[in-house]
Amino acid sequence: MKYISLMTALIFSAGALSSERSTVSFSIDNDGIFGTDEDYTNGIFLSYTTGAISPYSLFRPLSLSYWGANSVDKFEFQLGHKMWTPSDIESTEPIANDRPYAGYFHAELNYISLHPQQAQRFNLTLGATGESSFADKAQQLVHSLVGSKEPNGWAYQIEDQFAGSIGYLTHLNWKRQPASGSTSWEISNVTEANLGNFRSDVSTGAMLRWGTDLGGNFGSANISTENPFKAGMIGASNRGWFSYFGLKARYRFNDVTIQGDRPGIPEPSEAYDVTLQPLQAEAVLGLAWYNQYVGINTFIASKTTEYKEAPGLINGNGGLSFFAFF
């Protein structure tokens, strides 16, 4: 009996230790895996997630514990850089009916609340587009180093302006069942809403996962082509792995990377405007693995076009995340 009690205590203490770890993550997205250099072409993200916190009075209504659940709550701080380009980056003239050049350099503050049956994230994002995003300099530098095509159209990018949003994301477990060995499978709903002058949208979809300790890492994978994995949303789990596949539909009300002004465009500038496609869809396929110290995630993703004049129907990209617990 003493042996069983000791083992039980060790198991619960290991889970508690895991939930209190801080997380550092570095992620990169790029469409080069599909041999393209257009639309959403690159993203870089560096994040720090605190260990488990006791919800402060101000944030307590954002915690699942406020509604009676035994949750693990955390803050996440992230710096990110995203870049969009037209299909022909070598052109020195603006291109009609093609996506504008756009960059977004931003900071995020996320409040995360985790439970094996539900995970949620409240988000505040603040950043800048245009020259303040440094997207033109970043792409020119990287392409010169790797010998890629020289981008010649950044003079026509979306204008320099402040852009931000607030958002809410929730994962709801629909069903989780044991599979073979120590693995389980799970299907969940992922719903998200964002409001701001950067983007405003609502989306919902379903995610299928198969792997180990799915309750402990529930909510860490999202359905998105842009930074879909949040290592800081791994909760009380010391080790695990899982594959994931998700599909979602979205209605987007505004998008500054498509609709923003471009002061460098020659008159009449309306000839180069593109039209937001409000109805959109995304799909993601990925694999994540981690132990008590480090982890890695890789994914490929695709989305329908985000503007009506786009020549194709689908764009794709892939990415990697490296993360560590301490």
Most confidently modeled range among 93-97, 112-116, 233-237, 310-314: 112-116
pLDDT for the residue 268: 84
Cα dihedral 33, 302, 131, 197, rounded to 10, equals -170
Average pLDDT along the chain = 91
pLDDT for the residue 206: 98
pLDDT at 73 over 50: yes
pLDDT at 136 over 70: yes
Average pLDDT over residues 228-242: 94
Is the torsion defined by CA of 108, 224, 84, 193 positive or negative?
negative
pLDDT confidence bin for 10, thresholds 50/70/90 = very low
Q: Give the domain CATH number at 183.
A: 2.40.128.140
Please state the domain count of the chain: 1
pLDDT for the residue 36: 85
3-state DSSP assignment of residue 177: strand
Average pLDDT over residues 132-141: 92
* Per-residue pLDDT tens over the stretch 158-202: 999 999 999 999 999 999 999 999 999 999 999 999 999 999 999
pLDDT for the residue 249: 98
pLDDT at 100 over 70: yes
- Asked if the structure places residue 7 within a domain, the reply is no
pLDDT at 1 over 60: no
The residues, any chain, with a CB within 8 Å of residue 198's CB and separated by 6 or more, are 104, 106, 125, 127, 163, 164, 165, 255, 256
- Asked if the structure places residue 256 within a domain, the reply is yes
- Asked if the structure places residue 40 within a domain, the reply is yes
- Asked if the structure places residue 254 within a domain, the reply is yes
3-state DSSP assignment of residue 238: coil
3-state DSSP assignment of residue 324: strand
Q: Which two tokens stand for residue 101?
A: 């050049």
Domain boundaries, position 94: 23-325
pLDDT for the residue 20: 64
Cα distance between residue 237 and residue 291, in whole Å: 9
pLDDT at 298 over 80: yes
- Asked if the structure places residue 1 within a domain, the reply is no
- Asked if the structure places residue 13 within a domain, the reply is no
H/E element holding 195? strand 184-196
- Asked if the structure places residue 4 within a domain, the reply is no
pLDDT confidence bin for 22, thresholds 50/70/90 = very high
* Beta pairing partners, 318: 30, 300
Average pLDDT over residues 101-107: 97
- Asked if the structure places residue 292 within a domain, the reply is yes
